Amino acid sequence: MADVFNWQLQRKMKYQYEESRPQKQIAWVFDTNKCIDCQTCTIACKQTWTWSTGQEYMLWNNVETKPYGFFPMGWDVKLLELMGGAKWDTAGQLTSETIFEQAPAGERAKGFLFDSEHWAHPNIGEDEPVGVAEKGTYVDKLPHKMWFSYLARICNHCTYPGCLAACPREAIYKRPEDGIVLVDQERCRGYQECATACPYKKVMYNPEDRVSQKCIACYPKIEQGEQPQCVVSCIGRIRMAGYISPPGVIDPKNPIDYMVKVKKVAVPLYPQAGTEPNVYYIPPVHADREYLRQMFGPGVDGAIDAYQKTKTDADLLGLFMLFGSTERIIRQFAVQGETAIGYDEKGTELVRVPVREPNIVRDYFDRVHDSYLHNIT
Ligand code: SF4
Ligand code: F3S
């Protein structure tokens, strides 16, 4: 095992291979507060990539309701049981062990493999809140006593993928040009060590072809400078895909860097596993904080504070308005007055949107359509 630096843990850790970061690392920010669980992303992915025999049960993108929803069933409860609770010191450094450091003798990571029953209930727990609603319950402060929240999930295209580390065939590789993690379908022999090691359970076995398969980050689109299907189809405009700078480098004009490193409004999912996942979440402001700290690590409180200041932060507000505004990958952004602008890698303007949407009050009765209209203020 090599010593590698994991910036999310603020320390070095053991990993199967030497540190070798790609020239560019694809990354995402998902705003959980805006997700409406419409599953449009799930279906967009399903129709694009997993419609073949042997892939029936696969959802490379899924949206689950926390705390009682999971796909596969109970995946993160099992992970936490296996790893034990995460421990962080006051400086934000992980003091507990990652899946690699907890690996049993002779294995490369600590993990578990689910059977088909666990994959058979993708909507379990959907919209089920935790806590009891008594008659007349009125929620007037944060976090809510009774809550649920939606967690959209794809492969994290980790910097230190558990799947890649565990495969004895070396059938999984991380592309140097963009950091996308792929399973080589020719080399794979279906050992499923990858599925065992992935802490997020984002590798899925195809019993028809006898190989493992997973989210490919819509790489044919990424190669054309376009965002993946799940991102561009998102009704709630909760997603943005881009590139994150390596540790120690911050480009404040880069949207992903700005959210993750400058404003620190987006945090990784279960960073304690040690894979350095590259999907970052803006945590739900209304959910239980202890729960969120276990799920997103010690940056959660700061992220929620930063998010709640968005109304008075024109740059962040403008950047959020650029979510879902273009199919192209936004490499740089700027906010000029009341306009947010996105640029491509050459500095060519891709899109401009108003920072604040105009507020239009409609007539109560619409004579053209002979109908009554409601205004939400
Ligand atoms: Fe591999 Fe899982 Fe990380 Fe995806 S989320 S790169 S499948 S370890
Ligand atoms: Fe390797 Fe996983 Fe295939 S362990 S052989 S990539 S099923």
Q: What is the CATH number of the domain that holds 66?
A: 3.30.70.20
Asked whether 25 lines ligand 1 (CB < 6 A), one says: no
Q: How far is the CA of 188 from the centre of ligand 2 (A)?
A: 5
pLDDT-derived band at 115 (thresholds 50, 70, 90) equals very high
Ligand 1 site-directed mutation target among 75, 156, 180, most atoms within 8 Å of CB? 156
Hey, whose CA ends up nearest to atom 4 of ligand 1?
A: 155
Q: From CA 322, how far away is CA 329, in angstroms rounded?
A: 11
Which ligand sits nearest to residue 170's alpha carbon? 2
Q: From CA 124, how far away is CA 72, in angstroms rounded?
A: 9
Q: How far is the CA of 343 from the centre of ligand 1 (A)?
A: 29
pLDDT-derived band at 357 (thresholds 50, 70, 90) equals confident
The residues near 218 (Cβ < 8 Å, ≥ 6 apart) are: 48, 226, 227, 228, 229, 230
- 323, part of any domain: no
Asked whether 155 lines ligand 1 (CB < 6 A), one says: yes
- The pLDDT assigned to 375 comes to 67
For range 52-60, the mean pLDDT: 98
pLDDT-derived band at 131 (thresholds 50, 70, 90) equals confident
- 77, part of any domain: yes
User: Mean pLDDT in the chain?
Assistant: 96
**Closest-lying ligand 2 atom to the alpha carbon of residue 184:** 6
Asked whether 214 lines ligand 1 (CB < 6 A), one says: yes
pLDDT-derived band at 101 (thresholds 50, 70, 90) equals very high
For range 131-158, the mean pLDDT: 88
Which ligand sits nearest to residue 182's alpha carbon? 1
Which ligand sits nearest to residue 198's alpha carbon? 1
- The pLDDT assigned to 198 comes to 98
CB 299 within 8 A of CB 338: no
- The pLDDT assigned to 363 comes to 86
CB 321 within 8 A of CB 333: no
- 53, part of any domain: yes
For range 150-163, the mean pLDDT: 98
- 260, part of any domain: no
Which ligand sits nearest to residue 26's alpha carbon? 1
- 193, part of any domain: yes
Residue 173 sits in which domain range?
23-251+278-296
Hey, whose CA ends up nearest to atom 6 of ligand 1?
A: 157
- The pLDDT assigned to 377 comes to 52
Q: pTM for this one? A: 0.95
**pLDDT tens figures, 260-303:** 999 999 999 999 999 999 999 999 999 999 999 999 999 999 99
H or E element in which residue 290 lies = helix 289-296
Q: What is the CA radius of gyration of the chain?
A: 21
Instruction: Reply yes or no on whether the pLDDT at 140 is more than 90.
Output: no
For range 220-248, the mean pLDDT: 98
- 84, part of any domain: yes
**Closest-lying ligand 2 atom to the alpha carbon of residue 205:** 7
Residues of the chain with pLDDT > 70, as a percent, come to: 99
Q: How far is the CA of 153 from the centre of ligand 2 (A)?
A: 21
Burial class (CB in 10 A: 0-12, 13-18, 19+), 68: middle
H or E element in which residue 150 lies = strand 149-153
Asked whether 172 lines ligand 2 (CB < 6 A), one says: yes
Q: How far is the CA of 152 from the centre of ligand 1 (A)?
A: 15
Ligand 1 site-directed mutation target among 61, 99, 167, 200, most atoms within 8 Å of CB? 200
pLDDT-derived band at 376 (thresholds 50, 70, 90) equals low
Instruction: Reply yes or no on whether the pLDDT at 354 is more than 60.
Output: yes
H or E element in which residue 83 lies = helix 75-83
- The pLDDT assigned to 359 comes to 83
Asked whether 109 lines ligand 2 (CB < 6 A), one says: no
Asked whether 188 lines ligand 2 (CB < 6 A), one says: yes
For range 233-248, the mean pLDDT: 98
- 363, part of any domain: no
CB atoms within 10 A of CB 215: 26
- 135, part of any domain: yes
Domain count for the chain: 1
